Structures are given as C-alpha cells and as structure tokens.
Amino acid sequence: MKQYELTNQDYELIDRAKEIIETNFDTKTYIYTVGSAIRSKSGEVFTGINCDGIHGSCAEFISMGAARAAGVREFDTIVAVYKNAPNCLLPPCGNCRQMLLEYSPHIKVILNNESQKMIKVEIQDLLPLAYVHNDQME
C-alpha cells in the first residue's frame, strides 16, 4: 500500500474537520460527534458533520455533498475526526469507502495505521477488489 507524507495542507484539513465538530458538537444528545473535511484538487475545503436519523449519514457523505453542491468534481484528500479516537482520526466505514471510490477513485484518505501513526493512502487501497461500475474502471 503506497503511503503519502502528510503535508501542511493535510494538517490544516484535519484542523478544519476538528473545528466543524467542535463548533457543532451536541452535548445533550451526542448525535453530532464526527467531523469531516474534504479538499478539492484546486485546494477548496468543504466540511460536514454526521447526521443522525433512521438511516443517518456519516460526516464524509455530508462533506462530499457540500462539495458536490458547490460544483466541485475533483477531489484530493478527505479526513474524518472523532475527538476520542487515536490522533482524533476516524477511518471511513465500509459504506463511505464505497462512496469515496465511486465519486473519486483516486482520493486520498488520512487515517491511522495499525501503530496509530497518521498516514495518507489512496481509497483504492482501503477497498481492495471493490465493486465498481463498468464506466468507472480505469
């Protein structure tokens, strides 16, 4: 699995995800606990927080939706944070991995490795042998 060095922009992305959840953390219901930030290829950053409900939505879906709603289609890196996780980094769940692969097959994800060290990898390495639509095969 190819790992990329975290850049200053990546640490800023992590900070943006922390900011959005610190601003919106719900101390009464603990519904809003995860923040996400996604950076476009051109450097724009969009954020999201998880939303609870019958089906709910992970923060990654919300940040991706905010970026898509703004017209962004090319993505560089995404991160999700949860304050009690090691380094505050939360790996994407299986559903988010599939969504990220379909929306941006080369997006990089910041997460912890097995030693709790921050790493950045391509989404394809987090979902080997994934289902892909025929028109997304590269």
Q: Shortest approach of Zn ion to residue 111 CB, angstroms?
A: 12
Residues with Cβ within 8 Å of residue 89, at least 6 apart in sequence:
14, 79, 80, 81, 82, 110, 111, 112, 118
Please list, in sequence order, all residues whose beta carbon lies within 8 angstroms of the beta carbon of residue 91, skipping any fewer than 6 positions away.
80, 109, 111, 112, 126
Strands 108-112, 45-49: pairing is: unpaired
**126 touching Zn ion, by CB under 5 A:** no
Catalytic residue among 60, 74, 102, 122: 60
Confirm or reject binding of residue 109 to Zn ion (CB under 5 A): no
Residue 111 engages Zn ion in binding (rule: CB under 5 A): no
70 binds Zn ion (CB under 5 A): no
Q: Check binding of 93 to Zn ion (CB under 5 A).
A: yes
In angstroms, give the least distance from the CB of 16 to Zn ion. Answer: 18
Check residue 58 for interaction with Zn ion (CB under 5 A): yes
DSSP structural state of residue 119: E
- Quote the CA–CA distance of 78 and 10 in Å, as a whole number: 9
Could you confirm whether 5 is annotated as catalytic?
A: no
Minimum distance from CB of 98 to Zn ion (Å)?
A: 9
Binding region for Zn ion (CB under 5 A) out of 4-12, 48-56, 90-98, 120-128: 90-98
Cβ neighbours of 134 (radius 10 Å): 5
| Interface residues toward Zn ion, by CB under 5 A | 58, 93, 96
Tell me which residues are annotated as active site.
60
